[in-house]
Structure 1
Amino acid sequence: MQLFIKIKIELGVMMNIAVVTPQSVKGERGGAEGLYDGLIKALITKGHNVNHVKVLVDESTFESIVQAYCYCYYLDLDDYDVVISTKAPTYMVRHRNHISYLLHTIRVFYDMFDEISLGLDKIKQRELIYAFDKYGLDPSRIKKHCTIGHTVEERLRNADQFWNNIDFKLIYPDTLLSGFSEPKKGEFIFLPGRLHRWKRIDLVIKSMKYVKNGVKLLLAGKGEDEKNLKKLTRDLGLENRIEFLGPVSDNELIDLYSRSIVIPFVTKKEDFGYITIEAFRAKKPVITCHDSGEPTYIVKDGVSGFIVEPDPIKIAEKINFFIENPDEAANMGINGYDAVRHITWDNVTNDMLDGINIDPSERTPKINTLVLDMQPIEPAIGGGRLRLKGLYSNFPRNFQVTYIGSYDWSGEQHREIKISDNLNEIDVPFSKTHFDINSYLNKLVPQNVTIDVLSPFLIFASDEYVNRVKKELIKNEVIIVSHPWIYSVIYDDIKDKLLIYDSHNYEYGLREQLFPKNGFGKCIVEYVRFVESNLCKQADIILACSDEDKAKFVLNYGVDPEKIFILPNGTFVKDYDINIEKNKLKNELGIDNFAAIFVGSNYAPNVDAAEFIIKTLAQECGDIQFIIVGGVSDCVDKTSIPSNVLITGLVSNDDLKKYMLASDIALNPMVRGSGINIKMLDYFAAGLPVITTKIGARGLYNKNNYIESELSDFRKYIKLFLDDKNILTEMSKCARNTAESEYDWNKLSINLGNLIGKSLRGK
């Protein structure tokens, strides 16, 4: 019998934790998103390594809901010590230490079913969802059941007796809102939150007919029901007494709470309700209703507020009580404050992790990883450097990554910088001899760059670089060769190490396009084939950017397809704030018209694309502002630039994002290249529909966010976007959703980390 010693996780002992949450396809934020942020921040404060695993959940169709359930089930989270699931369907995940912090199941199949879903087919769908939920939340799969409220627990017990056998631990989440000051004299009635019919804001609006002394109601927030609520306000003749403030900042929200008389939170069957907690933190009383769900457990009737029937007159009676009795309002507000003082994020994490034990043999080991290339990462300019930064600065926290690069230009100094908590960059300049020999050989193919393709043998003229690679090689068990150019330094020293080829392109095919097909050009291309094919054969894992590249490796090098994994390029989705006002950015940047942007580095295929925009499109589309950004600006013919073309040159990352967010569409008229164009993914992250050639869209499959076109038809599709704002808006939403769900560097890095962990165990 094997003996396992269990170690209790005490405070201060670091664990690797995954917090799994659903993400709406609309990208909306509400109380749940604030809860996720607060929980993750609290766990990190405790000293744990935490990764936020977001699962895109589309609840618009039953089929997409089922797909999300299946996706969660197949998530590979084995490398974490603990997994915390949240809303449906994230509890379908499989893990030995699975904590369910249940916000709620999908309510349209539970308490809201009779209001929304009718028909036999809907009943059958509900039965399937019930079966999924019973399986996902079965005690045999869950180490600890927690929930945010009694209401969530009761909803399940009312649906099926199955839930009577589960012991749920109630853990009220804290709010992220902080900085509450002493309350001020009440001036108005205040209610923040989403304008949704389940929040029953219409009851509060109707109650204002009976509220005395001309006191006003202020509503903060936005939502689906805003139009109907404004119409109701007009129909009741209350326009002068009710203000719709729209979204407000945290500081404004705290001030509004402070100056309110009472908070009438009369939602229907609420799971938890941050508004109750925030009102009490501001020392303000709350009015809620008997059927409002969790607020009825938090508000003590006659002590910290009132619990009434969902009737406008009854609500108005209590509002009038607080207007006429400000001292009572103050006392009840203080009672509410005392009632929620124990709700802190520190207590949340203590309660959640209390009693969780782990097997030492299951702890995620530290994985020392060496990544090799011949370019710097920072500043991350151009596709190759963006991939390096995106993948390896977002690795799971149990990875310690050392990157050794160089400069493909002379005159730089040795440097070592820390890019992220687990990624260190070391840049060792190539020697003068290295550059001198390259310059001599480059004269044989003067229209091409050779510093990369010749480095597999010229690298040995750079002793300092080679020696540093050899030194670091000993310390790391995972070796990642990014591009094939440094492979020659390590090929006979890797022994039992895990060797990974991160192929940014199918290099042989790309160089065939770029170099002359005779003389020294042909020699270089064949040399690239020799180096890349040998690396592919020796590598344990090959990362291909697209299915097309994978097929070429298999066909031309005879590589086992089982060891090739598709890991597309990605984008830093969170860097693009798509909620920023586009017209404001246009004014700041001097853009007057409908704008189309092209971004490119100093790279021959990008130059071709930019020249097409300047010499053809700009001439055909005089009413469009064309913006060309990046190193490609230095290479285009500037002798006759049309007035509707703005060439910015190299700009900072912040300015690049501004230009992209100020644009209306993006262009990618590429006619040659390999791998996925990272610029396409950045366009998607910025919410830009794209008109692209087939080459520009290589490796992409979701055509809901781009139009694939011949160069001759670009003008036609630009006009389509200019004339039809509905198509523009829909494709913009699809572009952003695609970036979030498929091309977020954080998710791609986690997938690669899991793959490496599994491969190490197998090796």
Structure 2
Amino acid sequence: MDIVVCGAQKPFVRGGAEQHQENLVAALETAGHRVDLVRLPVAWEKGRLFDSPLAWRMVPIDADLVIATNFPSYFVQHPNKVVWLLHQHRGAYDGFEAGASWSDFAWDDVSLEEQRLLTEWDVAALSEARTVFSNSGVVSRRLARFNGLDSTPLAHPPPLHEVLHPGEFGDYVLSVQRQEENKRPHLLVEAMAHVPSPVRAVMAGRGELLDEVRRHVEDAGLAGKVELPGFVPDADLVELYAGALAVVYVPEDEDYGYTTLQAFYAGKPVICAADSGAVLDWVEDGVTGLVCDGTPAGLAAAIRRLADDPALAQRLGAAGRERIADLSWADVVARLTAP
């Protein structure tokens, strides 16, 4: 078939959604389809919220099938539209509901009206789809709660899954993520103040908070204990995973979380928080990782536990690797393209 994958992107930002779309294109091409990826810029701020949805309604797409992904690409019009929902506008839904600091929606008339209108628009656009899949059970539950729509979770392998491999259990915990507020990078910095040497932390990834987190490390006197290398090339990242004691991933209500799956492919346990969202679809406390209470003290205790018991880290990591053994892009493609 001729297939167009639709995605939205904030200019100059690259993360899991962009990797997801590109890997989907590659998997569809491997299956023999002719595929193109169409992205339009998106603005998340209140007041510009409806600009990109309106733009998607105007885009003519000639193809046998369109597969829409993140907000607001699913506003594209096509008679054969399938949605694989990565996320909606979280600031207008669960961020608004929770009063999250990263959401610019508040209990004012403008916010309430924009949220009401967006809910109506989302229901209309998503109801046009022949099938709606989601990225995870968390995303499906949000869609049901806020919009009354059903969807089917569809898991997929993460980037680098073909080359990630187990290795020695070293003297560092690894964090791989964008340094953004909803990923809570400061939590690991604060936890490391309570973790004795020689255990250290390597926090890979760029983001809006990178400089702020670096200042936090300096101010806390942890410069020799917490490393922030910024962007790490894929080959180096694979080796960082292979040599880690464990992977720390404590986002707030994550949609999916490539870091978790990459850790499992590398045979490493994951330490997450009880409110880390879809990460908990994969991390079972004491089985494939450790679930802490989301405080610096709780996170530090989990790190110390694995540092003091390397055999436990090895058992949890092996269970995580077994947990993702059946993930397959071929299965994803078959389900997305089924008539």
Which one of the candidate residues 312, 332, 335 is aligned to 1:328?
312
Which one of the candidate residues 266, 270, 273 is aligned to 1:289?
273
Structure 1 position 85 matched with structure 2 position 85: no
Identity of matched residues, %: 28
SS at match of 2:221: coil
Deviation of 1:49 after TM superposition, in Å, equals 0.8
Which one of the candidate residues 306, 321, 343 is aligned to 2:327?
343
Question: For the residues of structure 2 that align with 1:69 and 1:234, how far apart are their CA atoms?
Answer: 42
C-alpha root-mean-square deviation of aligned residues, in Å? 1.3
SS at match of 1:263: strand
One-letter code aligned to 2:20: L
One-letter code aligned to 1:52: L
Question: For the residues of structure 2 that align with 1:185 and 1:295, how far apart are their CA atoms?
Answer: 22
Does the CA-based 8 Å contact 1:35-1:173 persist in structure 2? no
Does the CA-based 8 Å contact 1:284-1:334 persist in structure 2? yes
SS at match of 2:53: helix
Mapping for residues 197-236 of structure 1, pairs under 5 Å: 197-236=181-220
Q: What corresponds to 2:120 in structure 1?
A: 131
Question: For the residues of structure 1 that align with 2:166 and 2:271, how far apart are their CA atoms?
Answer: 20
Does the CA-based 8 Å contact 1:18-1:84 persist in structure 2? yes
Question: For the residues of structure 2 that align with 1:308 and 1:181, how far apart are their CA atoms?
Answer: 26
SS at match of 1:315: helix
Question: For the residues of structure 1 that align with 2:282 and 2:334, how far apart are their CA atoms?
Answer: 21
Q: What corresponds to 1:307 in structure 2?
A: 291
Deviation of 1:351 after TM superposition, in Å, equals 2.2
Q: What corresponds to 1:76 in structure 2?
A: 60
Q: What corresponds to 1:31 in structure 2?
A: 16
Question: For the residues of structure 1 that align with 2:115 and 2:166, how far apart are their CA atoms?
Answer: 48
Deviation of 1:210 after TM superposition, in Å, equals 1.5
Q: What corresponds to 1:120 in structure 2?
A: 109
Does the CA-based 8 Å contact 2:15-2:178 persist in structure 1? yes
Q: What corresponds to 1:46 in structure 2?
A: 31
> TM-score, normalised to structure 2's length?
0.94
Structure 1 position 62 matched with structure 2 position 51: no
Question: For the residues of structure 2 that align with 1:269 and 1:282, how far apart are their CA atoms?
Answer: 23
Mapping for residues 260-271 of structure 1, pairs under 5 Å: 260-271=244-255
Does the CA-based 8 Å contact 2:306-2:312 persist in structure 1? yes
Structure 1 position 179 matched with structure 2 position 168: no
Does the CA-based 8 Å contact 1:299-1:305 persist in structure 2? yes
Deviation string, structure 1 residues 612-658 (Cα, Å, up to 9, x no partner):
xxxxxxxxxxxxxxxxxxxxxxxxxxxxxxxxxxxxxxxxxxxxxxx
Deviation of 1:338 after TM superposition, in Å, equals 0.7
Deviation string, structure 1 residues 60-84 (Cα, Å, up to 9, x no partner):
4523x3121111112222x311110
Deviation string, structure 1 residues 422-461 (Cα, Å, up to 9, x no partner):
xxxxxxxxxxxxxxxxxxxxxxxxxxxxxxxxxxxxxxxx
Structure 1 position 144 matched with structure 2 position 144: no
Question: For the residues of structure 1 that align with 2:329 and 2:203, how far apart are their CA atoms?
Answer: 28
Structure 1 position 94 matched with structure 2 position 81: no
Deviation string, structure 1 residues 558-609 (Cα, Å, up to 9, x no partner):
xxxxxxxxxxxxxxxxxxxxxxxxxxxxxxxxxxxxxxxxxxxxxxxxxxxx
Deviation of 1:187 after TM superposition, in Å, equals 2.2
Deviation of 1:173 after TM superposition, in Å, equals 2.3
Structure 1 position 19 matched with structure 2 position 5: yes
Which one of the candidate residues 174, 191, 196 is aligned to 1:190?
174
One-letter code aligned to 1:234: E
Question: For the residues of structure 2 that align with 1:225 and 1:23, how far apart are their CA atoms?
Answer: 19
Question: For the residues of structure 2 that align with 1:216 and 1:201, how far apart are their CA atoms?
Answer: 15
SS at match of 1:28: coil
Does the CA-based 8 Å contact 2:270-2:290 persist in structure 1? yes
Question: For the residues of structure 2 that align with 1:291 and 1:136, how far apart are their CA atoms?
Answer: 30
SS at match of 1:137: helix
- Structure showing greater radius of gyration is 1
Question: For the residues of structure 2 that align with 1:181 and 1:172, how far apart are their CA atoms?
Answer: 20
Does the CA-based 8 Å contact 2:4-2:35 persist in structure 1? yes
Deviation of 1:159 after TM superposition, in Å, equals 2.3
Question: For the residues of structure 2 that align with 1:192 and 1:299, how far apart are their CA atoms?
Answer: 16
Does the CA-based 8 Å contact 1:288-1:306 persist in structure 2? yes
Question: For the residues of structure 1 that align with 2:76 and 2:164, how far apart are their CA atoms?
Answer: 38
Does the CA-based 8 Å contact 2:165-2:267 persist in structure 1? no
One-letter code aligned to 1:145: V
Question: For the residues of structure 2 that align with 1:151 and 1:278, how far apart are their CA atoms?
Answer: 19
Question: For the residues of structure 1 that align with 2:12 and 2:192, how far apart are their CA atoms?
Answer: 33
> TM-score, normalised to structure 1's length?
0.43
SS at match of 1:112: helix
Deviation of 1:181 after TM superposition, in Å, equals 2.9
Question: For the residues of structure 2 that align with 1:143 and 1:22, how far apart are their CA atoms?
Answer: 20
One-letter code aligned to 1:150: G
Does the CA-based 8 Å contact 2:132-2:152 persist in structure 1? yes
Deviation of 1:27 after TM superposition, in Å, equals 2.5
Structure 1 stretches of 4+ moved >3 Å: none
Does the CA-based 8 Å contact 1:35-1:174 persist in structure 2? no
Mapping for residues 609-758 of structure 1, pairs under 5 Å: none
Does the CA-based 8 Å contact 1:98-1:143 persist in structure 2? yes
Q: What corresponds to 1:109 in structure 2?
A: 92
Deviation of 1:185 after TM superposition, in Å, equals 2.9
Does the CA-based 8 Å contact 1:38-1:174 persist in structure 2? no
One-letter code aligned to 2:292: V
One-letter code aligned to 1:271: D
Deviation of 1:156 after TM superposition, in Å, equals 2.4
One-letter code aligned to 2:172: F
Deviation string, structure 1 residues 124-169 (Cα, Å, up to 9, x no partner):
111111111011111xx11111011111112223324x22xx2x12
Question: For the residues of structure 2 that align with 1:220 and 1:182, how far apart are their CA atoms?
Answer: 19
Deviation of 1:193 after TM superposition, in Å, equals 1.2
Higher relative contact order (CA 8 A, sep 6+): 2
Deviation of 1:180 after TM superposition, in Å, equals 2.0
Question: For the residues of structure 1 that align with 2:335 and 2:324, how far apart are their CA atoms?
Answer: 16
Deviation of 1:290 after TM superposition, in Å, equals 1.0
Question: For the residues of structure 1 that align with 2:194 and 2:36, how far apart are their CA atoms?
Answer: 50
Question: For the residues of structure 2 that align with 1:325 and 1:319, how far apart are their CA atoms?
Answer: 10
Mapping for residues 503-542 of structure 1, pairs under 5 Å: none
SS at match of 1:70: helix
Equivalent residue pairs, number: 332
Q: What corresponds to 2:143 in structure 1?
A: 156
